[in-house]
Structure 1
Amino acid sequence: MTPRWYEEGEEPDYRFTLANERTFLAWLRTALALLAGAVALAQLVPAFSVAGVRTGLAVLLAVTGTVLAAFSYRRWAQVQRAMRHGRPLPMTWLPFVVGVVAALAGVAVVVVVLLHTR
């Protein structure tokens, strides 16, 4: 199934199209890693000394992975469309969100580790 916009504008250099596809696949790999981390955290990691932290972190990772997977195609299409029309590439909030979630998860783990060692 080819989207309508795929026939618009001019065909970009195939190297840029393939680079855009590699970026899309990297977003999907990141989303799958977040989902795998959520499953591992929920199923394999023993409960933390602070109640609910393990479940909360697992949910945070799962939701972030799901959102990232859902928006990665949209990002790919926006970039592809911009390249076909010779426009600047659009900005995205995806790296910001993934970075913030990773930082929050890291802070939570540090807090749990510090509380556990006392």
Structure 2
Amino acid sequence: MSAGPPDTEPDYRFTLANERTFLAWIRTALGLLAAGVGLRQLLPPFELPGGTTVLAAACIGLAATVAATSFPRWYRVQRAMRAGEPLPRSTMVPVLATGVLLLALVGAVLVIAG
């Protein structure tokens, strides 16, 4: 069992970039949360019963997913930088892109149907 390299402090610019990325994920989650609450509270109901609620719940669910995965992602990247290892890949990029695409498609269907 190898001990691996000792933890070293990465260049502060990389640490700050990792923090900015974390904060961008949090801003995205907050934006999705605000959109979900705004949809439910401010948007008149669609012709399709429950459409507004479904769209709002999807926004809030995606916001929760992004928020829940942002800190573990930040931590894994920080740990990899300290150990001099390759940065881990993020599975959230395709999840977020697919989620936003699905939100757009559901929103378009609701708008066209009503």
- Regarding TM over 0.5, the answer is yes
Residue correspondence of structure 1 range 10-21 to structure 2 within 5 A: 10-21=8-19
Which amino acid is 2:30 matched to? Answer: L
Which whole-Å CA distance do the structure 1 matches of 2:94 and 2:50 have between them? 26
Deviations 1:41-69 (A, max 9, x none): 01000000111111111111111111211
Match of 1:108 among 106, 109, 114: 106
The equivalent residue for 1:35 is 33
Structure 2 unaligned blocks of 5 or more: 1-5
Which amino acid is 1:115 matched to? Answer: A
Which whole-Å CA distance do the structure 2 matches of 1:101 and 1:54 have between them? 17
Identity of aligned pairs, percent?
49
Please give the TM-score of this superposition, normalised by the length of structure 1: 0.88
Deviation at 1:19, TM superposition (A): 0.2
Which amino acid is 1:24 matched to? Answer: F
Structure 1 unaligned blocks of 5 or more: 1-7
The equivalent residue for 1:25 is 23
Which whole-Å CA distance do the structure 1 matches of 2:31 and 2:75 have between them? 22
